Amino acid sequence: MSDMKLVGLCGSLRAESSNRKLMFEAARLFAPDAFTELDLRFPLFDEDSQNADGIPAAVQQAADQIAGADAVLVVTPEYNKGISGVLKNALDWISRTEGTPWQDKPVALLSAAAGRAGGERAQNMARLCLTPFRPRLVAGPEMMLAQSRSQFGDDGRLIDARGQGLLQSLMEELRTEVGRMRD
Ligand SMILES: Cc1cc2nc3c(=O)[nH]c(=O)nc-3n(C[C@H](O)[C@H](O)[C@H](O)COP(=O)(O)O)c2cc1C
């Protein structure tokens, strides 16, 4: 498949975020022609501010990038058993844009967390939060990276071979979904 565009949303803004490392590892394995991380530093959603000032340029840009992508990675940390406010805020803002950027979009969900469950609850919550937008959410294999801060080498690569294999399978599923949408 040619001209494959992949974009990623990372729910952690931390510079050394393990979720971002996981996102870039997934992008490497997906091997798109172009990968773009969306900037989710949006203002807090406030319907009054939308009514007064419209959609912020950064939100519109993110929605356009999703609409123009062949596939999307949504990567979430687990904050108090749920997704981060950053990610929920981004999803809420993007839902206010014209059009349906997520509709039928192949999406893979990933999570990385310090706990032993690898952010399972956050990933399940992210799945629920995405459902209203009707993307093509890849069902599995589920990639939940536990004890995530110690899982990457200095080169940013995932150390564990099993994790690499799982991620590879998930990215293959995502590619298959893109192929279905292009047929
Ligand atoms: C506010 C907050 C709440 C957290 N809650 C959880 C949690 O419920 N489960 C968990 O496994 N880790 C939790 N953690 C730890 C995160 O998994 C850890 O900070 C992880 O590295 C965050 O992802 P990042 O590396 O991409 O920033 C929490 C961290 C913060 C800052």
Q: Which atom of ligand 1 is nearest to the CA of 16?
A: 25
Residue type, 181: M
Cα–ligand 1 centroid distance for 115 (angstroms): 8
DSSP letter for 29, please.
H
Domain chopping of the chain, boundaries: 5-182
The C-alpha atoms of residue 23 and residue 32 are separated, in whole angstroms, by 13
Inter-CA distances, 31 with 5, 45, 118, Å: 10, 34, 24
Cα–ligand 1 centroid distance for 77 (angstroms): 6
φ and ψ at 30, to 5 degrees? -70, -30
Structure tokens at 42: 């949006």
The C-alpha atoms of residue 136 and residue 108 are separated, in whole angstroms, by 9
State if residue 17 touches ligand 1 by the CB under 6 angstroms criterion. Answer: yes
- pTM (two decimals): 0.97
- pLDDT score, position 133: 98
- pLDDT score, position 2: 73
Cα–ligand 1 centroid distance for 114 (angstroms): 6
Q: Report the chain (183 residues): mean pLDDT per 10 consecutive residues.
A: 91 97 97 95 98 98 98 98 98 97 98 96 98 96 95 93 94 96 84
Structure tokens at 82: 């749920």
- pLDDT score, position 182: 83
- pLDDT score, position 183: 79
Residues 60 and 97: beta-carbon distance below 8 Å:
yes
Superfamily of domain 5-182: Flavodoxin domain (3.40.50.360)
Pocket-testing residue among 75, 79, 80, ligand 1, by greatest number of atoms within 8 A of Cβ? 79
Inter-CA distances, 116 with 73, 78, 121, 168, Å: 22, 11, 11, 21
